[in-house]
């Protein structure tokens, strides 16, 4: 018998005991099924007993498993109470990048519905790279964006949960030669200079995504423009440049422009929920549940047959699963 038990192992056990299904329990805890199975096996080794009878059709607790259930609940409830007493009642600070970010905003709103007893407050850092330093310093708790686009030194202190593959689009002046098309093939942008945030120190992950997408297609990234703070200034600067803007399909409307989805292939912007490693907050648990629920209900993580995103993103997503 060990001197102490990792509460994570008890949480894994209790999820399986309540769901009676490893896949559902893993989804509930937002971990891979093999990770959950490993934790349950480790707990069984540490306690020196089998906790479940496993067959191809069902999972049922053994007598010792049934006996452990009330103790596990008591320990985890005590842990939750302790965390609440030492700072967990504070607001969870969630960066949405900017006010019109549809994916992040929907996740936050659902999390508030799932856990109304906790305060989840929105912040706007305008880019995951800009938010990453705040996350690591503890001034933010969570953000959204392209995790693979972060510098590896930043990624080392952070963790992520894939949420959505956002289809990408282009914002065009109303009188642009491609504005009449309902959807714009990438090849049609050849020869264009497209704005993708070049020079913005808070969003290099987006410029890098554009670079990888445009590579070999004859599309240039537009040079930096004066850094605009706020939606009104951004729209004013873009109206002056009249450059096409790389965006996503949920990008908010801008006067004098049209938004057109990109096709052939359909480029995707991988969006993850991102947080600093070791974050513990019951409101954060609700945020992760909300992200997983919306991803499943909306099919946000289904990649179209002709979908595209960079190989490095694919590698990090596979590594997360």
Return the minimum-mean-pLDDT range out of 16-20, 30-34, 169-173, 180-184: 30-34
Residue 132 has pLDDT above 90, yes or no: yes
* 23-38 mean pLDDT: 79
Every domain of the chain with CATH number 3.40.190.10 lies at: 92-165+268-320, 166-267
* 176-186 mean pLDDT: 96
Every domain of the chain with CATH number 1.10.10.10 lies at: 7-88
* 150-159 mean pLDDT: 92
What integer pLDDT is reported at residue 69 of this predicted model?
Answer: 92
pLDDT for 281-291, tens place per residue? 878 989 999 99
What integer pLDDT is reported at residue 237 of this predicted model?
Answer: 77
Residue 9 has pLDDT above 80, yes or no: yes
SS (H, E, C) the chain: CCCCCCHHHHHHHHHHHHHCCHHHHHHHHCCCHHHHHHHHHHHHHHHCCCCEEECCCCEEECHHHHHHHHHHHHHHHHHHHHHHHHHHCCCEEEECCCCCCHHHHHHHHHHHHHCCCCCEEEECCCCHHHHHHHHHHCCCCEEEECHHHCCHHHHCCEEEEEEEEEEEEEEEECCCCCCCCCCEEHHHHCCCEEECCCCCCCCHHHHHHHHHHHCCCCCEECCCCCCCCCHHHHHHHHHHHCCCEEEECCCCCCCCEEEEEEECCEEEEEEEEEEECCCCCHHHHHHHHHHHHHHHHHCCCCCCCCEECCHHHHHHHHHHC
Mean pLDDT of the chain, nearest integer: 88
What integer pLDDT is reported at residue 2 of this predicted model?
Answer: 59
Residue 87 has pLDDT above 60, yes or no: no
Class assignment of domain 7-88?
A: mainly alpha
Q: Does domain 166-267 have CATH number 2.30.30.230?
A: no
Q: What is the CATH number of domain 92-165+268-320?
A: 3.40.190.10
């Amino acid at each position: 018998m060990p001197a102490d038990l990792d509460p994570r192992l008890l949480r894994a056990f209790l999820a399986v005991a309540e769901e009676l299904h490893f896949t559902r329990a893993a989804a509930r805890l937002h971990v891979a099924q093999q990770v959950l199975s490993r934790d349950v096996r480790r707990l069984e080794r540490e306690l020196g007993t089998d906790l479940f009878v496993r067959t191809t059709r069902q999972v049922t607790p053994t007598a010792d498993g049934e006996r452990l259930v009330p103790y596990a609940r008591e320990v985890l409830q005590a842990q939750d109470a302790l965390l609440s007493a030492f700072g967990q009642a504070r607001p969870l600070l969630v960066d949405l990048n900017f006010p019109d970010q549809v994916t992040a905003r929907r996740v936050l709103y659902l999390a508030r519905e799932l856990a109304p007893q906790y305060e989840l407050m929105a912040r706007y850092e305008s880019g995951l790279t800009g938010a990453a330093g705040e996350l690591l310093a503890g001034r933010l708790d969570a953000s959204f964006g392209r995790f693979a686009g972060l510098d590896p030194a930043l990624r080392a202190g952070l963790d992520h949960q894939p949420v959505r593959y956002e289809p990408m689009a282009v914002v065009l002046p109303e009188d642009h030669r491609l504005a009449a098309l309902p959807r714009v093939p990438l090849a049609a942008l050849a020869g264009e200079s497209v704005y993708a945030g070049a020079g913005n120190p808070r969003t290099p992950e987006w410029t890098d995504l554009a670079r990888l997408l445009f590579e070999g297609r004859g599309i240039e990234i537009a040079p930096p423009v004066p850094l605009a703070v706020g939606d009104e200034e951004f729209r004013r600067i873009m109206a002056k440049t009249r450059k096409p803007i790389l965006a996503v399909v949920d990008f908010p409307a801008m006067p004098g422009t049209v938004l057109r989805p990109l096709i052939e292939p359909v480029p995707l912007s991988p969006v993850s929920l991102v947080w600093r490693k070791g974050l513990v907050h019951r409101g954060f648990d609700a945020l992760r549940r909300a992200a997983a629920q919306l991803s499943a209900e909306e099919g946000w993580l289904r990649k179209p047959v002709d979908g595209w995103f960079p190989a490095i993103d694919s590698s990090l997503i596979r590594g997360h699963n």
